[in-house]
Structure 1
C-alpha cells in the first residue's frame, strides 16, 4: 500500500535543464559547473546532478567526498570538483572515485598524491586562493610556492586554481578587488613556469553581474534551480524548479478574542476560520514565518496565524469559504517564491530550499 504524503516537493527537472542550457549560453564558451552540494540545494543530489549533466553541464561541484561518491555510485561520469576541505583520511576515497579536490596547502596534496600512488591513479587538484572570504584557501603571497610544490608531485596534476567571491551579487567594489588579486596571483604562478589549465572564480552572482570574470569555468548554484538572490541587475528567464505543497488537514472556527498556537502570539480580532496544514518546522518550514508568512490556497494568499509548530501550521481562511479538508496548498511556488520567504525571515533563498527535510518526499517531473 502506497503512502499518501501530507507534504511533498515537486522537482521539475525539465525546468532545471532549461536553466542549465540558458546558463551555459550565458557562460559564453567557459565550462559550466553546476553545484549540487547540500542535496542540490534541497532538490535531490542524484536526480539533479544527472539532469544537469544530461542538459549540457560540463562539470558538477559538491561540498563533500560523500556527495561525490554518491554521484559516482549513480554512474554519473561528469568531472566532479569537491569545493570544501576534507580530511587526509578521505584522500584515498576521493582519488578512487576520480573526484577533483580543492586544496590550500601541499600537505593535503601530498595525502592525495600518496593515495594516487597506492591506487595506480592520478590525483587532480585545484588550488584554492583566499582573496577575501577568510574561510579556506592559500594566502595569495604563498600561492606560487604552494603551486610549485604541488606540481612536483609524481602522481598529482594541478588542474586548476580558483577563488570564491564574498558578495558578488551585492558589492561590486570588493568583488573587483578580489578578482584583481586573483588575476595577479595567477599571473605570478604562471610566471614561475607552472601551467594552469583551468582558472575559475565566477559564481551565480558574478555570472550575472560581472560576466567579464567568467575565465575558464563558471560555478553556478542557486540560479540553476530557478532562484535568484540578486536584488538588482539583469534578469535571466530562469524557471522555478521546486514547488513545495501540503494539504489542509483540519478546519475550525475560532471566536473573536481567542488566541492561536504556542505562546498565544496571535489573537483573533473577529470570528476566524482556520485551516491546519500538514507541515511544520520538523519538515524544514521556517519557524520565523509564524505570524508573518503566507501560503496560497485556491490561488489566494492565506496568512499564517500563530507560531509555526513542529508538524503543523495554522492559516486564516476566513475569506476563502470554499476551502475544504484535503485541498492542496502551495508553500513555495506560484504566488509565494523562495525569494519572498527568504526576505520575510531575513535569510537567503539558498537556506529556504536547502532546509526542506528528508521526510518531505520529492516528486520528480521529467
Structure 2
C-alpha cells in the first residue's frame, strides 16, 4: 500500500477533449503534433501518449530518452524538438526518430549516421524570433537546399517558433507574415514533400487560420489555455 499522502488524478477524457478542441480550431488536413516533453508536462509521458494515440498524428519530445519512452508507448512518428548531443546521433538515426537540426553541419552528421537501408528524416528549425535554436532567416533557403541534397537525410519538416504568441499579438502577426513569405519561397526553391509547422498552443488558439500542414499543441492539451479568455474551451 502506498504511503504517499498526495497524488494527481489524470483524466484521459480531458486530454482527448482538449486535443479535439485543438482540431476544431484548425483546418481538416492539418496534422496535430502532441507535445509530451517534460514527462508529459508532469502528467506521465507514456500514459499521455497512449491517451492521445487516436487524436495525434505525431508526438514531440525534448530529447532522446523521452523519444525512447514515447516509442515504447505508441508507434507514432516522434520529433525530437530539442538539439541532440553528438553522441546520440547514431541511436537517433537507428531508432528512426526525427531530429531537429539548425544547420547543414548537423544535418550532414545525421546523414552520415544513418543506417544504409533507411535515411534519417530531419526537422529543420529556422529562428524567426525565439533566439534559442534554428538557422537564421537570411540564408535559410541556401542552407535548406544543401540539406535537401544530402544522400541519407530526407527533409521531413521545416519549423519556426512564435515566442510571444500569448502576449504580443502585433509582434506575432509580423513574425507570421514574414515567415509565410519565407515559406512560400522555400516551397518554390527547396524540393521535397516536407511539412511546415509554426503554431504552438497559443498560436493554435489565436492564429489557427495561419496553420501550415502541422501544429505543435502542448500546454492546451493539459487543460491550460495560454489565453485566459479561451480557457472555457478546455477541460482541466
Q: TM (normalized to structure 2)?
A: 0.94
Could you say which residue in structure 1 is the equivalent of 2:80? 82
Report whether the alignment pairs 1:201 with 2:198. Answer: yes
Aligned to 2:135, what secondary structure does the other structure show?
A: coil
Q: 2:37, 2:181 → 1: CA distance?
A: 29
Structure 2: tracts of 5 or more residues without a match: none
Aligned positions of 1:113-124 closer than 5 A: 113-116=111-114, 118-124=115-121
Could you say which residue in structure 2 is the equivalent of 1:228? 225
Quote how far apart the aligned CAs of 1:194 are: 2.2
Could you say which residue in structure 2 is the equivalent of 1:109? 107
Could you say which residue in structure 2 is the equivalent of 1:238? 234
Report whether the alignment pairs 1:136 with 2:133. Answer: yes
Could you say which residue in structure 2 is the equivalent of 1:18? 17
Residue 211 (structure 1) aligned to one of 196, 208, 211:
208
Aligned to 1:121, what secondary structure does the other structure show?
A: coil
**Contact persistence 2:141–2:190 (CA under 8 A):** no
Could you say which residue in structure 2 is the equivalent of 1:247? none
Quote how far apart the aligned CAs of 1:96 are: 1.7
Q: 2:191, 2:220 → 1: CA distance?
A: 33
**Contact persistence 1:33–1:61 (CA under 8 A):** yes
Q: 2:122, 2:13 → 1: CA distance?
A: 33
C-alpha distance 193-45 of structure 1, shift in aligned 2 (>3 A): closer
Could you say which residue in structure 2 is the equivalent of 1:33? 33
Q: 1:96, 1:111 → 2: CA distance?
A: 13
Aligned positions of 1:1-366 closer than 5 A: 2-29=1-28, 30-54=30-54, 56-74=55-73, 76-116=74-114, 118-195=115-192, 197-232=194-229, 234-240=230-236
Q: 1:168, 1:159 → 2: CA distance?
A: 25
| Higher relative contact order, chain-length normalized (CA < 8 Å, sep 6+) | 2
Quote how far apart the aligned CAs of 1:196 are: 5.0
Name the structure with the higher helix share: 2
**Contact persistence 2:33–2:57 (CA under 8 A):** yes
How many matched pairs? 235
Deviation string for 1:75-124 (max 9, x for gaps)?
x11111111111222111112221111111011111111111x3521111
Structure 1: tracts of 5 or more residues without a match: 241-366
Aligned to 1:150, what secondary structure does the other structure show?
A: helix
**Contact persistence 1:64–1:83 (CA under 8 A):** yes
Quote how far apart the aligned CAs of 1:189 are: 2.2
Deviation string for 1:294-330 (max 9, x for gaps)?
xxxxxxxxxxxxxxxxxxxxxxxxxxxxxxxxxxxxx
Could you say which residue in structure 2 is the equivalent of 1:258? none
Name the structure with the higher strand share: 1
Deviation string for 1:148-167 (max 9, x for gaps)?
11111111111111100011
Q: Which runs of 4+ in 1 moved over 6 A?
A: none
Q: TM (normalized to structure 1)?
A: 0.62
